[in-house]
Amino acid sequence: MSKENKKIKYEIRAKDALMLNLRALKLFRKLSPWHIELEVLDKIHQTLGYYIGIYVTARIVTELATLRRPKTLLFWVIIMLSQELFVRMIHYTIFHIQQVKGNFMNERRWNLIDKKLSQMDYVDAERQGVRDHYFKIRQDEEWTGLGFSAGYSFIYIFSDIANILGAIALSAGFVFLKVPETAPGAGILNSPLTILAIIAVIALISRGAVILGSKAWKLYKEMNDSATLSNRVFWHTVNIPKDESRALDMRIYDQRSLLIHMRRQSVDQGFGKKAAEYWAGKGGIMRAIQNMSTHITLGAIYFIVGLKAWAGAFGVGQVTQYIAAITALTSHITNLAYRWQDMRLNAVNLKYAFDFLDIKNNMYQGSLSTEKRSDRQYDIEFKDVSFKYPGTEKWALRHLNVKFKVGSRLAVVGENGSGKTTFIKLLCRLYDPQEGQIFLNGIDIKKYDYQDYVGVFSVVLQDYFLPAQPIGENVAGSKNYDRKKAEKCLIDAGFGERLKELPQGLDTYLYKEFETDGVQVSGGEAQKIAIARALYKNAPFIILDEPTAALDPIAEAEIYSQFDGIVGNKTAIYISHRLSSCRFCDEILVFEDGSIIQRGSHDSLVETDGRYKELWYAQAQYYKDEEKRRQMDKERAAAGI
Ligand code: ADP
């Protein structure tokens, strides 16, 4: 094997690896001040305690083997116990602080990565490649302890250095104390060359252990990387059965067998299996050789220290001291070498994590503040806007021209795939148009600070998310909130009657995930809570993207007509394929294939031949039937049938 082949091949240059580790250190110090300093302090202080312990034990053994003076023995025992007590006290104090701080550090690292995902350009955030990147960083953190989670382990270099210094101080006597000239083999045992030979053997064995260790770690890392997809599939199969909303599909279509198949496959190609194969093969052999080398080193140390003691260089007390000190010296010199290699190998994972954090934000660069106008005079204009989704050729919106002013009611109708949702996505700047511009009060929306800009909108999407938290907190989006206002919003959104029935009112937990007496609301009720949340935000624009899809058409129309009053002076944009809900709007835009094919009030559109009129008459019959059915139900109920 050539010399080059024996070397560990690093993917990152030493200098870059160092810079990445330092960058990580800087980041963690910022995320959790004093965490790292305390950790180093704890390690150094424990090291000190360890060597005091070795020294004192040697003194006690010597005293027991020689003069056995009770006072001296008592003195050393008291020193031993008090140092132990002192070391433990400091350690547990630091440990206590560290536990709290440590949790913060982990939590903050996660927050950082999550924040990045939620604030990057939406176009990037929804890309599968970026999602894979995110998942891999998480996998490194949670499964293999690589990347950021190993990002500051190199600071234990300080602990190794402290250990090496302590061990040298306690083993110096072994080098300098000479065997009496009369003893057999004194010449060899006292020769500096013998000491040098011992050092050389220890260094060689350590070096071998480090090379093996690094190779093992590299293989382990490669295994981790190759198992990313199967890990993701595995977690998918674990999470789906827990998701109540999928329970029916799971049963009706026996999706369980599909999931079992996916899980089987992911396990077959997953990390666990690869790790098992690894330990049963190369990994196990490397670990065995490593352990053997440690034991050989230890044996050599025992042998040589024992030999010198037997020849009369020092007493039995020093034997314990020298063996402990030289063993520690060997292992910490090895550790020191490991640390550097770990740093270099982990640098690849650190780079991966930093590459994620460094994904450029090209979209949200604006800095203008949306004027907090007390008159809420905001207007929006789409000027010749065209848009196609990244990676597609088809225009999802084409030459859109719309202007809507404050207080107006705008309805966007059209069949599935006509571009209604895309229109809202552009309005909320999830994407920027390829052609044309969108203006808020005459200024291109790209120029506004993004957080400020989205603050102008309340949106109720079809696919909203309500966390399993108390209803009031859901509505307000916060722990501390105005209870009266939350209640009013729920009543306005049509949830008032149901709220009255709930024994804990606003404090009732949604769903039973975290509280057994949580409330399991229906799809329609959940939508009302989502609407209440939009009302609570009290933004000048309120957008409802088919939010009432879970309601029957009449109930939907009722909500919309009430909504008109609730919305008040806000600008409302309703998106619906049910035309009855849009009747009361000032202007209706009819979308088809990404373009507006008709616009006007309900009365004018219904009298004009065109798509709207066609759809209206097609749907009207259904509403009439529905109304008739309801009326009959009411009459039956009144008659007690
Ligand atoms: P609507 O809300 O009216 O049902 P959309 O705005 O969702 O319609 O869709 C408009 C067009 O854009 C459709 O042709 C749809 O297939 C396409 N589209 C929607 N979302 C995406 C996406 N994320 N990537 C690619 N094409 C999309």
What's the pLDDT band for 576 if we cut at 50, 70, 90?
confident
pLDDT at 561: 67
Of residues 25 and 279, the one with the higher pLDDT is 25
Q: Under 8 Å CB-to-CB from 344, ≥6 apart: which residues?
A: 10, 12, 14, 17
Rounded average pLDDT over 531-546: 88
Confidence check: pLDDT of 11 > 90 = no
Distances (CA, A) of 384 to 49, 439, 575: 75, 11, 20
Rounded average pLDDT over 354-370: 89
Which residue shows structure tokens 């981790």? 224
Regarding the beta carbon of 392 and ligand 1, being less than 6 Å apart is answered yes
The tally of CA atoms less than 13 A away on the side-chain side of residue 220 is 21
pTM summary value:
0.78
Q: Are strands 541-545 and 595-600 parallel, antiparallel or unpaired?
A: unpaired
Residue-wise pLDDT tens digits, 336-351: 888 888 888 899 999 9
Of residues 230 and 487, the one with the higher pLDDT is 487
Closest C-alpha residue for ligand 1 atom 16: 417
Range ranked top by mean pLDDT from 88-102, 230-244, 420-434: 420-434
What's the pLDDT band for 294 if we cut at 50, 70, 90?
confident
* Atom of ligand 1 minimally distant from the CA of 418: 3
Cα(614) to centroid(ligand 1), Å: 23
Least confident of 20-34, 43-57, 240-254: 240-254
pLDDT at 434: 95
At residue 17, what are phi and psi to the nearest 5 degrees? -60, -40
d(CA 487, CA 507): 11
Confidence check: pLDDT of 391 > 50 = yes
Confidence check: pLDDT of 599 > 80 = yes
Cα(608) to centroid(ligand 1), Å: 28
Confidence check: pLDDT of 284 > 80 = yes
Cα(417) to centroid(ligand 1), Å: 5
d(CA 351, CA 253): 44
d(CA 148, CA 67): 55
pLDDT at 555: 64
d(CA 584, CA 159): 74
Rounded average pLDDT over 519-535: 87
pLDDT at 290: 83
Confidence check: pLDDT of 437 > 70 = yes
pLDDT at 627: 59
Closest C-alpha residue for ligand 1 atom 22: 389
pLDDT at 400: 95
What's the pLDDT band for 596 if we cut at 50, 70, 90?
very high
pLDDT mean across residues, the chain: 86
382: closest CA among 363, 404, 365, 366? Answer: 404
d(CA 465, CA 474): 10
Cα(118) to centroid(ligand 1), Å: 22
Q: Is residue 134 within 8 Å of 117, Cβ to Cβ?
A: yes
Regarding the beta carbon of 414 and ligand 1, being less than 6 Å apart is answered yes
Closest C-alpha residue for ligand 1 atom 21: 389
| Residue 412: strand, helix, or coil | strand
pLDDT at 5: 45
Regarding the beta carbon of 5 and ligand 1, being less than 6 Å apart is answered no
Q: Is residue 139 within 8 Å of 225, Cβ to Cβ?
A: no
Rounded average pLDDT over 357-384: 82
pLDDT at 224: 80
Rounded average pLDDT over 283-305: 87
pLDDT at 68: 92
Regarding the beta carbon of 33 and ligand 1, being less than 6 Å apart is answered no
Regarding the beta carbon of 241 and ligand 1, being less than 6 Å apart is answered no
Token couple for 124: 């990037």
Regarding the beta carbon of 128 and ligand 1, being less than 6 Å apart is answered no
Confidence check: pLDDT of 374 > 70 = no
DSSP letters along 421-466, please? Answer: HHHHHHHTTSS--SEEEEEETTEEGGGB-HHHHHTTEEEE-TT---
Rounded average pLDDT over 202-228: 82
Rounded average pLDDT over 460-471: 86
Rounded average pLDDT over 591-608: 91
Q: Is residue 597 within 8 Å of 397, Cβ to Cβ?
A: no
Of residues 581 and 310, the one with the higher pLDDT is 310
Confidence check: pLDDT of 3 > 60 = no
Residue-wise pLDDT tens digits, 37-74: 888 888 888 888 999 999 999 999 999 999 999 999 99
Rounded average pLDDT over 115-130: 91
Which residue shows structure tokens 């910490």? 332
Rounded average pLDDT over 355-376: 81
Q: Are strands 587-592 and 595-600 parallel, antiparallel or unpaired?
A: antiparallel
Backbone dihedral region for residue 610 (phi beyond 0: left; psi -120 to 50: alpha; all else: beta)? left
Rounded average pLDDT over 197-214: 82
Q: Is residue 134 within 8 Å of 113, Cβ to Cβ?
A: yes
Regarding the beta carbon of 417 and ligand 1, being less than 6 Å apart is answered yes
What's the pLDDT band for 267 if we cut at 50, 70, 90?
confident
Confidence check: pLDDT of 406 > 80 = no
* Atom of ligand 1 minimally distant from the CA of 419: 6
Residue-wise pLDDT tens digits, 495-509: 999 999 998 999 999
pLDDT at 23: 96
